Amino acid sequence: MNSAEKLKFMAKVLDEKKAQDIVAIKINNLTIVTDYFLIASGTSTTHVKALADELELKLKEKEISPLRVEGYNSSAWILLDYGEILVHLFISDVRDFYGLERLWVDGTRIELPTLLSEQEQ
């Protein structure tokens, strides 16, 4: 599974688990750290944990494990590092405070409808 296919799969998993404001930012031309950020919000810390758990479970079924997970205990911002994709799961006010979308505005933003429509092709 290449990084674009993995990104689409991850977005679908988060959407099915009712994540909010799912967006991907392609940043491979801006940094060597990763190819994509996948950013989503949960309605509470419990929801954010559930999103992280579901994503890990579905990817482990495909034999894909995160390189690292940060922030799981606080659950206000959980980072799952899948190498070419960094997944950022937030509660809404923390997402607004840090504003990753504003910091990476030079990247190519990919909205959820685009991700999901490409998934079906």
Reported as a pLDDT band with limits 50, 70 and 90, residue 33 is confident
The predicted pLDDT at position 21 comes to 93
pTM higher than the cut 0.85:
yes
Q: 121 lies in a domain?
A: no
Angle at the Cα of 104 (from 101 to 107), degrees rounded to 5?
A: 110
Is residue 38 within 8 Å of 88, Cβ to Cβ? yes
pLDDT in tens, 74-88: 889 999 999 999 999
| Measured distance CA(99)–CA(101) in Å, rounded | 5
What is the residue range of 71's domain? 3-114
5-19 pLDDT, tens digit each? 899 999 999 999 999
Mean pLDDT of the chain: 90
In a domain, 120, yes or no: no
The token pair at 74 is: 């606080």
Which CATH number do you get for residue 75? 3.30.460.10
| pLDDT score, position 111 | 78
Q: Residue 120's pLDDT is what?
A: 41
How many domains does the chain contain in total? 1
In a domain, residue 119? The reply is no
